[in-house]
Structure 1
Amino acid sequence: MSVKKLAILGAAHGHISYVTDALATRSDVELVALADHDEARRASYGAKLGVPGYADMTSLLARHDIDAAAVIAEPGLRAGLIEACLERGLFVIADKPLALTVAEVDRIAKADGGRNRVALMLEKRFYPVTRKACELFLGGEIGDLVAITSTGPHKLLPSARPAWFFDPSLYGSIVNDLAVHDIDLVLWLTGARSGRVSGWKSPACPEKHAGFALAGRALLTLETGLQAVIDMDWRQPEAAARHGDYAMRLIGTRGRMDILFGEGRLLVETDSRSLWEPDLPAPIGPADDALDALTGKAPLQVSTAEALLASRIAALAAASAEEGGHDYRW
């Protein structure tokens, strides 16, 4: 069996565990090195993972032949790293957001050249509740879609956040960061490939972090006229049981479904059947899709084209929020 060699480029976010946890269960991919410009992170993760650490990608590649890279650097640094990987023929596993601007998304698309070599970890696709909801919807359980609404409250815990999190050049914005998952789900469920999007951000900011919006919204209008309202905020109470009570409601012509991502529950209610909760499939890890594609076990379930479109719409919504709600076509 051929074992693929993987390096981690950047360990800025805790989502690095998506990759390392998945690797612990596999023998067909080996983590061989990591690179991070931050000396403390480099030393900490290098020791924890038992691999050598380098200050940059160039130094790493001078010492290691790799097949793929997991890019989990600060969001503002990701596009450049992804482009560099693609130009070297590497497969890329990326944390979201893929990029901060439309221009960055377009550069990644150009570097990929339609080769389907970028796997964005859009883990909501693989939650048991999401997969079951999609199955029921496609089976006609609630009829045709009338509207979609979603909410994404997160705990901010500012004292636990790194400094880069409050730097817009490195973090981006709440809309760019938190909307992409639900944008992807809307596109996945509807098959939409064109429409309009606008964004909004709250003027409210946390103490000591002016300019960091505590809430945001993306409004998608699909070519069919269907609208999806995607709300997000950093005000999940600190004493709450969960990091976020994320949820999505699918409103149909014959019923509705409430996808409670945070609770791992799916509530279904139709004109002919009272409220019920279906049995859910087994979970799939956030990085499993990417690693299966890397090793040739299965094709990407979230294709690069799908990841690029969702990321492009999120970047447009973020730009709209900065401009007071300008309507963009996609």
Structure 2
Amino acid sequence: MKIAIVGCGGLGQVHASCYAKVPDVTVVGVCDIDADLAKALADKTGAPAYASFTEMLIETGCDVVSIALPSFLHKPFTVQAAEAGKHVICEKPIALNLQDAAEMIEVCEKNKVRLFVGHVVRFFPEYKSMKQKIDAGALGRIGVAHAKRAGGHPSEVRAWFGDDNKSGGVVVDLMVHDIDFMLWALGKVRSVYGFRKRDGLLDYASATLLFESGAVANIEAHWGYPGPFLTTAEISGSKGLLRSDSRKSKSLQVSKVATAENQGRVIEIPQSPGFENPYELEIRHFIDCIRDQHEPIVTAQDAYNALEIALAVLESDRTGQAVFLEQISGEELQ
């Protein structure tokens, strides 16, 4: 399988490293308007560097295009790749508005190519373990969930992150990770209440999601956080509690309520961190889905749904009111 990569920055390099570990996959071209970035990745992969995406599509004969570009460019490059008959592996978020996301899905379906969106959190072992335990009924009826994701402001490295019209800001770019996880784990959302505060390099947002099941999730996202990058998640139910904190040496703790079986003791069961790179697991999975025509763990529709909730958070912050999902069904949020 022949792969072409457009966008040779950090995530483009990650994609290239992952493809190098997948059997029978070859990177045949890399493309970036920054000639130095393109040359560096070309030297790393042994593939030719291109300044023109059109030329790369024509000359390489690639089967798949990896799109590791700024978010505002996801739609035009996905559409061009799909119309050229190429499968697409696109970084998250799928797009910056629902109309673009819907058009991306439609054009890929029309041209009979696959569209995969890199919501990589689903491939992290601690989040995968939480999902499995929820599905197995280990927590009983879910009541409340919390998640937080925080780090430095990425605009200090890439200026486009500081422009909402290009990145979507902390909600669409960062919070969307935990939104997608909560949708995966807890189901459909009934209403959204959001708050966002920006001040220079501070970009903070919080959201409260009420699910159709009655569960409530509180999510925080923070750019400009003064400490190292961190993620936390906690999900509580009628039978127990799941907790994950990247600052701890244990990637996941499970606390269960006292029962006759455990004789009143509260048990924490540590889960070992995975040794495999989640990005590599994600890339391998997407390639396998193309080869075997399987449905992916995260679908393009899942990515659309996560974007819908992220935009509802921003709409709630704008109006000061909760957003009910039936209000936005079939409508585009900007």
TM-score by length of 2: 0.85
2:266 to 270, 274, 288: 274
Matched residues in 2 for 1:88 and 1:158: separation?
33
Matched residues in 1 for 2:54 and 2:198: separation?
41
Q: CA deviation at 1:40?
A: 3.0
Query: Hey, what does 2:218 align to over in structure 1?
Result: 229
Q: Which amino acid aligns with 2:213?
A: T
Structure 1 residues 217 and 255: alpha-carbon distance in aligned structure 2, compared to 1, 3 A threshold? same
Question: Which one has the bigger helix percentage?
Answer: 2
Matched residues in 2 for 1:39 and 1:313: separation?
37
Query: Hey, what does 2:19 align to over in structure 1?
Result: 23
Higher relative contact order (CA 8 A, sep 6+): 1
Given that 1:176 and 1:317 are in contact with CA atoms closer than 8 Å, whether structure 2 keeps it comes out as: no
Alignment of structure 1 residues 127-276 onto 2, 5 Å: 127-156=124-153, 159=156, 161-192=157-188, 194-206=189-201, 213-237=202-226, 240=227, 243-261=228-246, 263=248, 265-272=251-258, 273-276=265-268
Q: CA deviation at 1:176?
A: 0.3
CA offsets 1:78-119 (integer angstroms, 9 cap, x no match): 111112222222211111122111221121122233868111
Q: CA deviation at 1:20?
A: 1.7
CA offsets 1:2-43 (integer angstroms, 9 cap, x no match): xx111011224x222432222121232110001222333223
Alignment of structure 1 residues 82-97 onto 2, 5 Å: 82-97=78-93
Q: Which runs of 4+ in 1 moved over 4 A?
A: 261-264, 322-326
Q: CA deviation at 1:60?
A: 1.1
SS in 1 for 2:230: coil
Matched residues in 2 for 1:324 and 1:85: separation?
40
SS in 2 for 1:99: coil
The answer to which of 306-315 and 90-99 deviates more is: 306-315
Matched residues in 1 for 2:31 and 2:18: separation?
19
Structure 1 residues 53 and 320: alpha-carbon distance in aligned structure 2, compared to 1, 3 A threshold? farther
Given that 2:154 and 2:161 are in contact with CA atoms closer than 8 Å, whether structure 1 keeps it comes out as: no
Given that 1:202 and 1:214 are in contact with CA atoms closer than 8 Å, whether structure 2 keeps it comes out as: yes
Query: Hey, what does 2:6 align to over in structure 1?
Result: 9
Structure 1 residues 325 and 86: alpha-carbon distance in aligned structure 2, compared to 1, 3 A threshold? farther
Query: Hey, what does 1:305 align to over in structure 2?
Result: 301
Calculate the aligned-residue CA RMSD, in Å: 2.5
Matched residues in 2 for 1:185 and 1:98: separation?
15
Identity %: 24
TM-score by length of 1: 0.85
SS in 2 for 1:15: helix
SS in 2 for 1:274: coil
Q: CA deviation at 1:188?
A: 1.3
Q: CA deviation at 1:284?
A: 5.7
Q: Which amino acid aligns with 1:285?
A: P
Structure 1 residues 314 and 86: alpha-carbon distance in aligned structure 2, compared to 1, 3 A threshold? farther
SS in 1 for 2:105: helix
Matched residues in 2 for 1:284 and 1:158: separation?
25
Matched residues in 2 for 1:322 and 1:47: separation?
46
Q: CA deviation at 1:202?
A: 0.6
Q: Gapped runs of 5+ residues in structure 2?
A: 259-264, 330-334
Given that 1:256 and 1:269 are in contact with CA atoms closer than 8 Å, whether structure 2 keeps it comes out as: yes
Matched residues in 2 for 1:326 and 1:134: separation?
27
Structure 1 residues 123 and 39: alpha-carbon distance in aligned structure 2, compared to 1, 3 A threshold? same
Aligned length: 314
Given that 1:216 and 1:233 are in contact with CA atoms closer than 8 Å, whether structure 2 keeps it comes out as: yes
Matched residues in 2 for 1:124 and 1:27: separation?
24
